[in-house]
Amino acid sequence: MKLITSRDNPRLKTIRRLAQDSQAYRKLGLVWMEGDHLCRAALSRGVKPELAVFSEAIWQASEFEWAQCAEEVWVVPDDLFSGLSALESPSKMGFLMTLPSTPDLDPQAATVVLDRLQDAGNVGAILRSASAFGFKQVVAIKGSAGLWSSKVLRAGMGAHFGMGLIESASLDDLKGLQVPLLGTDVHEGPFLHELIQQGKLPRRCAWVMGHEGQGVSPELMALVALKVRIAQPGGEESLNVATAAAICLHASATSN
């Protein structure tokens, strides 16, 4: 364990940048994850970070539990750790790790396609649903929020470490998928619950989730094999994209 007290430490400056700039991980090749739950999730998936950083308060309370969690362990004063965090209530601990390499597209994998989704909370929530319902691959079209940004990591709550994540993909990349593409539409296509009742909903497929305001692009929708509507008897015009994704992914995961 090393006690670090200098605010000008180069690695602490790197962590500040990663916490505050959602695109910095791409330039630096590093990922910063903050919080007890997220760090535990990473360890449970076999991730061992290069560096673990703890505030003095949490280290004093749990030194023996975390002593071997990383290749290197730093402890910093509480106020210095607060300066590393972009959270209103800093989590008091975090891991710094190398950005995982991008896997090759698995043409047969149950997949979620993100078409220019820009809200980090939505993206993280969809990753969490994808992991929960057995979708092993997420493909983010160029223009989507950074999958490994600190905000998406927090919203994903550990889902990142059990799936293949592909960023900045093109429509040509999607042509390599050998599972049917499904997309939601407000006006066209059969209702999701009807497909389930008829046994016609593919279990292994690629669900396309579109931009929060613009929806799925016409070019991508042209590749979709089946448009599906979600019944909304309450009369709302549309659903939040993360909510729609959870409904669709659960439906596929539990279909016969």
pLDDT digits (tens, 9 = 90+) for 63-76: 788 988 999 999 99
pLDDT tens digits, 133-176 = 999 999 999 999 999 999 999 999 999 998 999 999 999 999 99
Residues 166, 80: Cα–Cα separation, whole Å: 34
Question: Is residue 112 within a helix (H) or strand (E), and if so which, with residue range?
Answer: strand 111-115
d(CA 47, CA 87): 23
Structural domains of the chain ordered from first start? 2-98 (3.30.1330.30), 111-253 (3.40.1280.10)
Q: What is the tens place of the pLDDT at every residue in 187-241? A: 889 999 999 999 999 989 999 999 888 889 999 999 999 999 999 988 777 789 9
* Radius of gyration of the chain from its Cα atoms, rounded to whole angstroms: 20
pLDDT for residue 67: 84
**Angle, helices 120-132/241-253, rounded to nearest 10 degrees:** 10
Determine phi and psi for 157, rounding to 5 degrees.
Answer: 55, 35
> What values do phi and psi take at 141, rounded to 5?
-70, 145
Identify any residues that bridge with 165 across adjacent strands, giving them in sequence order. 138
List, in sequence order, the alpha helices (H) in 8-89.
10-20, 24-28, 36-44, 56-66, 78-82
Compute CA 167 distance to the chain's CA centroid, rounded to the nearest angstrom: 11
The answer to whether the beta carbons of residues 42 and 162 sit under 8 Å apart is: no
| Residues 86-131 pLDDT 10s | 777 878 899 999 999 999 999 999 999 999 999 999 999 999 999 9
Q: What is the pLDDT of residues 8-44, one digit of tens each?
A: 999 999 999 999 999 999 999 999 999 999 999 999 9
Task: Tell me the sheet residues that pair with 226.
Answer: 182
**Residue 40 backbone dihedrals phi, psi, to 5 degrees:** -65, -40
